[in-house]
């Protein structure tokens, strides 16, 4: 038993020098390039394409894609660092990088054929945004109550249905679409397909007008006799359930990283503000009531960070991490919401206006408890793991 424990990487492991340099480069980009545009993009509900192009050029859209396919050839933990740091400046930017790396690229690397990898990974590494299309109007937490169907016809599948809440859909050129190729078999008929944007019968529908992460696109997808070649099945027919479950487990660590980055961004702004804002002839940071609230927020944030890092290290080491990923996502989303709310409180009336950044962090934080598995679903996963 002791040998197993010794081999498990510790959440307290310091970042390597290379990881620290990677973090520093993204943090600098966030402050200098991203932060000045965040408010404008949020109000417009549109992420600037030139920023996405820069993400590609910097290798942040292909972190785990091997060199042979034009990627950065780094590890999963680098993706987590990137998502965390971008979130401190703008969580919308982090969503774009997160979905690309932890969902789309990861699914192709794990389940793609050699032909699929040779065709699509270089695209995803250089200029093509990816999207992950699982959700439907009637399948939220019950993600596999899918009504989108895939009917086999000669050398193609014909996809029919409608997808909702698809992140990155407005910008994406490649979609991983889940449909049921054998409805009688229930979830065992679910199959994953690689669908290019220009595929006949495929259409990106309206973009949602959201509370938070507004610059990150969320759209519906319409599949009307969409013809997908059989060679574009990702994995095997009927393995879509497994593809989705294993990929989403990794994606939840990415959401955890987004939430701790968001919380840190809100807390950093608030600490600076409390040192500048004076009441009763002294900065409000000198009041013990304020100090204690900031101390509690910083402690919760550190705990959430360690949970996220631990889950990421376990995944990178090939160790089981499903429970840890669920815990990290659940707790970090709770912490992000509390810290962002505290930020608005301590800014007072200013925090309730859009002239200051903390109200955006507050709006952005809410999604953490909803997407890639609600908080209740994370609790269910944790409960099953500890009670088995």
Query: Catalytic amino acids?
Result: 372
- Using CB atoms within 10 Å of the CB of residue 51, give its burial: 0 to 12 exposed, 13 to 18 middle, 19+ buried: middle
Strand 156-167 to strand 202-207: parallel, antiparallel, or no bridges (unpaired)? unpaired
Using DSSP's 3-state secondary structure scheme, residue 20 falls into helix
Strand locations in the chain (E) = 130-133, 149-153, 156-167, 174-180, 190-196, 202-207, 218-229, 233-234, 278-279, 282-283
Select from 305, 336, 321, 265 the least CA-distant residue to 102: 321
Give the Å distances, CA to CA, from 310 to 8, 322, 328.
Answer: 9, 12, 9
Q: Terminal CA-to-CA distance of the chain, rounded, Å?
A: 19
Residue 31's region, left for phi above 0, alpha for psi from -120 to 50, else beta, is: alpha
Query: Using CA atoms, how far apart are residues 374 and 306, in angstroms rounded to an integer?
Result: 21
Give the Å distances, CA to CA, from 370 to 80, 100, 211, 343.
Answer: 19, 19, 13, 21
Tokens at 286, concatenated: 């000198």
Contact yes or no for 175/204 (Cβ under 8 A): no
Residue corresponding to tokens 């937490």: 141
Ramachandran angles phi, psi of 23, nearest 5°: -60, -45
Ramachandran angles phi, psi of 235, nearest 5°: 80, -145
Select from 367, 338, 348, 366 the least CA-distant residue to 266: 338
Spatial neighbors of 161 by CB under 8 A, at least 6 apart, are 136, 146, 147, 148, 149, 179, 223
Contact yes or no for 193/157 (Cβ under 8 A): yes
């Amino acid at each position: 038993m002791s040998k197993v424990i010794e081999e498990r990487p510790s959440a307290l492991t310091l970042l390597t020098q290379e990881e620290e340099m990677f973090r520093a480069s993204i943090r600098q980009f966030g402050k200098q390039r991203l932060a000045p545009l965040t408010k404008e993009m949020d109000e417009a509900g549109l992420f600037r394409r030139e920023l996405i192009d820069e993400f590609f050029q910097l290798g942040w859209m292909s972190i785990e894609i091997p060199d042979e396919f034009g990627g950065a050839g780094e590890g999963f933990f680098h993706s987590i660092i990137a998502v965390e740091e971008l979130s401190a400046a703008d969580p919308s930017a982090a969503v774009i990088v997160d979905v690309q790396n932890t969902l789309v690229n990861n699914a192709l690397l794990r389940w793609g054929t050699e032909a699929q990898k040779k065709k699509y990974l270089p695209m995803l590494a250089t200029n093509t945004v990816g999207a992950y299309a699982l959700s439907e109007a009637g399948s939220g937490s019950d993600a596999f109550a899918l009504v989108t169907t895939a009917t086999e016809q000669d050398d193609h599948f014909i996809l029919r249905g409608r997808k909702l809440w698809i992140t990155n859909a407005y910008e994406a050129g490649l979609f991983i679409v889940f449909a049921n190729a054998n409805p009688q078999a229930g979830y065992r008929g679910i199959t994953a397909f690689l669908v290019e944007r220009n595929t006949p019968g495929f259409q990106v529908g309206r973009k949602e007008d959201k509370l938070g992460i507004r610059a990150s696109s969320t759209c519906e997808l319409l599949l009307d006799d969409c013809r997908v070649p059989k060679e574009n099945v990702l994995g095997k027919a009927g393995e879509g359930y497994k593809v989705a479950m294993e990929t989403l487990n990794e994606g939840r660590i990415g959401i955890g990283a987004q939430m701790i980055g968001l919380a840190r961004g809100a807390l950093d702004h608030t600490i600076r503000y409390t040192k500048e804002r004076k009441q009763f002839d002294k900065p409000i940071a000198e009041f013990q009531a304020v100090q204690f609230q900031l101390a509690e927020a910083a402690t919760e944030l550190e705990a959430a960070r360690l949970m996220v890092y631990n889950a990421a290290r376990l995944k990178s080491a090939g160790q089981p991490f499903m429970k840890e990923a669920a815990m990290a996502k659940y707790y970090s989303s709770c912490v992000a919401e509390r810290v962002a709310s505290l930020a608005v409180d301590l800014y007072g009336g200013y925090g309730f206006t859009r002239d200051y950044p903390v109200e955006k962090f507050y709006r952005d934080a809410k999604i953490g408890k909803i997407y890639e598995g609600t908080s209740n679903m994370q609790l269910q996963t944790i409960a099953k793991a500890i009670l088995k």
